[in-house]
């Protein structure tokens, strides 16, 4: 039972996943800092102010004119989340997916070249064996 678990843990996919989780956690902290200190202020200014209520509106008001917290729609947070998603997706694509695709293409082209060379060698051997067979048939 423990041997099976050890084999499962030592598989490459599990180790790759562990590395991805650690790097993802560190990247999440970086994204949080960038959003808090750069994107949130820019979105607030773009939506009409620097106050905390910029980019939100109230769905209903009390008689006192104050909006209850549960009826406030903060569309600036939605816009910020979409911007963060696009930035994160772009970083993942350009930093991880594109280089991996290029490496995969290089490996595939090398495999194709090796396969073509092997096929050429095999066909040369088959041709030689065919000649030997034909020569033995003509002798008999």
What per-residue confidence (pLDDT) applies to 132?
92
* Tens-place pLDDT, residues 37-70: 887 777 777 777 655 556 677 777 666 667 776 6
Does 105 score more than 80 pLDDT?
yes
Task: Kindly list the structural domains of the chain, giving each domain's residue range(s) and its CATH number in brackets, ordered by start.
Answer: 2-103 (1.10.1200.120)
Band the pLDDT of 136: cuts 50, 70, 90. very high
Task: Dump pLDDT digits (tens) for 64-75.
Answer: 667 776 677 777
Label each residue of the chain as H, E or C.
CHHHHHHHHHCHHHHHHHHHHHHHHHHHHHHHHHHHHHHHHHHHHHCCCCCCCCCEEECCCCCCCCCCHHHEEEHHHHHHHHHHHHHHHHHHHHHHHHHHHHHHHHHHHHHHHHHHHHHHHHHHHHHHHHHHHHHHHHHC
């Amino acid at each position: 039972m423990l041997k099976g678990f050890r084999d499962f843990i030592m598989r490459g996919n599990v180790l790759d996943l562990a590395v991805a989780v650690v790097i993802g956690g560190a990247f999440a902290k970086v994204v949080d800092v960038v959003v808090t200190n750069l994107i949130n202020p820019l979105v607030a200014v773009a939506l009409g102010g620097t106050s905390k209520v910029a980019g939100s509106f109230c769905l209903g008001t009390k008689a006192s004119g104050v909006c209850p917290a549960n009826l406030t729609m903060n569309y600036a947070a939605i816009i910020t989340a979409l911007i963060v998603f696009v930035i994160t997706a772009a970083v993942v694509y350009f930093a991880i997916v594109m280089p991996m695709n290029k490496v995969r293409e290089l490996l595939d082209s090398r495999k194709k070249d090796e396969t073509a060379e092997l096929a050429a060698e095999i066909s040369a051997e088959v041709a030689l064996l065919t000649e030997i067979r034909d020569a033995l048939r003509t002798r008999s």
